[in-house]
Amino acid sequence: MSVWEFYQERERECSRKFPDSLANCELAIENLWYIKIKTDRDFDKKAKEIPKEWEPYKQYISLFFQRNISYLIASYKLTRQGLVNPSYCILRTVYEQILRSVFFYHFHDEAQLLYDFQNEINSADPSKKEELRKKIASTRYWNHQYMIDKLFKGEIKESHKQFYDTISWYSHPNIRSAFNDFYVTKSVDDLTKIIQDLCFNSMDIFQITFHTMLSQELNRFIEENKNLIGTNLKKIGVYKPNKAI
């Protein structure tokens, strides 16, 4: 059996074992794509009517939302073939971008700082770019610990720490779950739930940021889809800060 035949069979096996979970996951991503298509058109129309540059935090949140869609598609395609470990690696990036979106929404000055640094790097002499990148790293790295320290406390902070530690196992050399990619396990079902959760929180912070720019129809569509994911999962990850800001 060739490698392609092996993973085609894995995909058929996953589809037999987890049909509902995979279908729910696929629908969540399709709805994210629909939101992207609608907002691309609506935002372009508004930009022509009122040509004004968005604040940096809005630019980053919009960028992360769009970028996450392709990552979620890739993760889903890997998941349905039982390629568990690579799927987790991709979801780490999705999670980091959602967390940074939430962070920048609540700390506009942090988004402005990154924006200014990037502009400084882009306009710098090529020989100075590396020095400036090191300056960013020494000033702010916006790493996971820094962000959760600013946003959360207590159980919510601990849940983010534990979740990040778990998905990070798959991004570094580690023998943990070494055979997940060769045998169908419950990890496939777990991944479909994580993907749906990240779809929920990706559209949630996007809606919070841009709700006044979205049509009533699209706001209603997003609410309906968040409710659908919530019904499927019963429990959703909490990204709303519980620490004084």
Q: What are phi and psi of 67, to 5 degrees?
A: -65, -35
Q: Does pLDDT of 180 surpass 80?
A: no
The model carries a pTM of 0.90
The residue assigned the tokens 């609608």 is: 38
pLDDT digits (tens, 9 = 90+) for 193-207: 999 999 999 999 999
Q: Is 215 exposed, middle or buried (0-12, 13-18, 19+ CB in 10 A)?
A: exposed
d(CA 32, CA 26): 10
Cβ-based neighbours of 80, under 8 Å, separated by 6 or more: 11, 14, 15, 22, 188
Higher confidence at residue 101 or residue 178? 101
Residues of the chain above pLDDT 90, percent:
63
pLDDT reported for residue 208? 97
The residue assigned the tokens 């023998």 is: 175
Report, as an integer, the average pLDDT of 57-71. 96
Rounded alpha-carbon distances, angstroms, from residue 37 to 56, 176, 221: 22, 39, 13
Q: Does pLDDT of 224 surpass 90?
A: yes
Q: Does pLDDT of 178 surpass 60?
A: no
Report, as an integer, the average pLDDT of 108-133. 84
**Which of 17-26, 75-84, 157-166, 173-182 is predicted least confidently?**
173-182
Q: Does pLDDT of 104 surpass 80?
A: yes
Q: Does pLDDT of 89 surpass 80?
A: yes
The residue assigned the tokens 């000055």 is: 109
**Which of 20-34, 73-87, 127-141 is predicted least confidently?**
127-141
Mean pLDDT of the chain: 89
